[in-house]
């Protein structure tokens, strides 16, 4: 096992222990449900009750939290990588490639989290409008 692998294993183990000490559960979102919600058409939204839509917004909020956790993991890894010392030239090259990939993923995850939060807010607005119009089925 090379020095970079040892350092990464040590880092991830410490991070996992810290997250566990906070009592934050590991969350694996139900991707098929999220995809369904994100793909709702106007007719789908009209057919769903306000209670169903409220449940959908909870799932979107959970997924948004999951994406935020992944964003934080990426940012933490990038900060950690700036503190790693005593790596071989090959390990440094590997680490730099990983950082480039993580930075690209980070931008995408942040974008998705904002869009999902926006969709959840709009569904909540729809629920509120239904309530105000007395159409709260």
**What integer pLDDT is reported at residue 44 of this predicted model?**
95
- How does DSSP assign the chain, residue by residue? --HHHHHHHHHHHHHHHHHHHHTPPP----HHHHHHHHT--HHHHHHS-HHHHHHHHHHHHHHHHHHHHHHHHHHHHHHHHTT--S--HHHHHHHHHHHHHHHHHHHHHHHHHHHHHHHHHHHHHHHHHHHHHT---
Residue 117 has pLDDT above 70, yes or no: yes
List, for residues 17-65, the tens digit of each pLDDT value.
777 777 766 667 778 899 999 999 999 999 999 999 999 999 999 899 8
What does the pLDDT average to over 83-96? 84
């Amino acid at each position: 096992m090379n020095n970079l692998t040892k350092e990464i294993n040590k880092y991830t183990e410490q991070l996992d222990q810290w997250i566990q000490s906070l009592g934050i559960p590991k969350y694996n979102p139900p991707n098929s449900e999220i995809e369904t919600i994100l793909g709702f058409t106007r007719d789908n939204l009209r057919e769903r009750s306000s209670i169903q839509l409220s449940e959908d917004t909870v799932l979107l909020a959970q997924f948004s939290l999951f994406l935020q956790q992944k964003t934080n993991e990426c940012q933490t890894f990038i900060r950690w990588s700036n503190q790693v010392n005593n790596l071989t030239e090959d390990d440094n090259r590997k680490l730099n490639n990983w950082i480039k990939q993580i930075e690209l993923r980070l931008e995408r995850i942040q974008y998705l989290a904002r869009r999902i939060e926006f969709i959840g807010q709009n569904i909540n607005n729809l629920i509120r409008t239904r309530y105000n119009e007395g159409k709260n089925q």
